Amino acid sequence: MKRKPSTEATAAWIRLMRIQSQVLGAVEQDLKKAGFPPLAWYDALLELSRAPSGEMRPVELEKQMLIPQYSTSRLIDRLVDEGLAARRECKIDKRGQFVEITEAGRELQKKMWSAYSAAIEKHVGSKLSDVDAAKLCGLLDRLGCSCGEAATLAARDGAPAR
Amino acid sequence: MKRKPSTEATAAWIRLMRIQSQVLGAVEQDLKKAGFPPLAWYDALLELSRAPSGEMRPVELEKQMLIPQYSTSRLIDRLVDEGLAARRECKIDKRGQFVEITEAGRELQKKMWSAYSAAIEKHVGSKLSDVDAAKLCGLLDRLGCSCGEAATLAARDGAPAR
DNA sequence: TCAAGATTGATGCAGCTGCATTTAGTGCGG
DNA sequence: CCGCACTAAATGCAGCTGCATCAATCTTGA
């Protein structure tokens, strides 16, 4: 059972873990220093703002963001507490609900994108040519079974999802 | 302030976040299913086992693992609780201490490496040729200011560090 | 020699995460 | 129409993380 992964594979694994945490930390830090909430909030607001009528089912949000159900539930709680979103009852399915982004939510999303995009540029864009960034995408996509397609489409106003 | 990062940079950012979390999750899951503790424990045990006399200062460990001080402190607590490591007093500096890996700790580290290396192979190695893995390393290293050098040297028996 | 400052490690607190379970509602087969 | 399986969402609990702070000790420099 020894020496299964090649040195290269192991090195890639280590880099993937280290660099991601480093870059994510740097970006989150920039956001926080600019007085903004965590990235997850941005992701949620972005998804909501993209929805046709500014509202969607929690289940839907959960699938888009690739986070567990309970996590979605609590994230919505926080957004609602801050007046960035509102819960609406769902008439066709009384178990469920709709979550609607508020005007404040839309504004915050836009403001965050300024800081967020600057952070991406600072910590990723400025360190890699577009060609290299594309190469990196290609290599990373091969590690994720089949999450590349959707992500490519969504690659406008960046939405990570942990 | 609009359109700062290129589409490619943003796409790379998204991939980096998504794929990392996906791969990390898969590896941790494999470890857990095999009945092992979290990866952080492995990292710590590995560092300790590498130390000349099987012991090192918490500060040292902290630097190697790139995790905050309080995190190290509590990780050591857990290792000690499980009998995988032991605290030794430090005679030359009474503020400090030494942490020594136990025999059980060494054994666990070795056993974990079997499962861990298999997971790396399964989730990284098998999806990328060595050449591509090396390319990936190169690209990722450019994102991390200066963490590549050390990591390359340490690339035996993989040690991530979040 | 001694006070000021730096360093080592621990800890209380708040917030977040995962897991398992609960509550409520839907829909299908008999 | 009823019971049973399934889905939607919330929640209690334990564990982990970050932050700020603390106590103890070491070091430095006047």
Residues B39, B32 contacting (CB under 8 angstroms): no
Residues A76, A58 contacting (CB under 8 angstroms): yes
pLDDT of res. A35? 87
pLDDT in tens, B41-87: 999 999 999 998 888 999 999 998 989 999 999 999 999 998 999 99
CA neighbor of A73 nearest in space, from A63, A85, A58, A87? A58
Q: Is the pLDDT of residue B154 over 90?
A: no
Name the residue closest to D11, CA to C1'.
A70
Report the DSSP beta bridge partners of residue A85: A101
Residues of B whose CB is below 8 A from A155: 7, 10-11, 14
pLDDT in tens, A23-54: 998 899 888 888 899 999 999 999 999 998 88
Tell me, in Å, how far CA of B66 is from C1' of D17? 14
pLDDT of res. B149? 45
pLDDT of res. A99? 94
The chain B residue lying nearest A157, using CA atoms, is B10
pLDDT-based confidence at B159, cuts 50/70/90? Answer: low
Residues B102, B83 contacting (CB under 8 angstroms): yes
CA neighbor of A119 nearest in space, from B17, B107, B81, B49? B17
End-to-end CA distance of chain B: 32
Q: What is the average pLDDT across B111-140?
A: 92
H/E segment holding residue A24: helix A7-33
B2 touches strand D (CB under 7 A): no
Nucleotides of D under 7 A from a protein CB: 7-12, 16-21, 23-27
Distance of CA B86 to the CA centre of its chain: 20
Q: Is the pLDDT of residue B148 over 90?
A: no
pLDDT of res. A59? 92
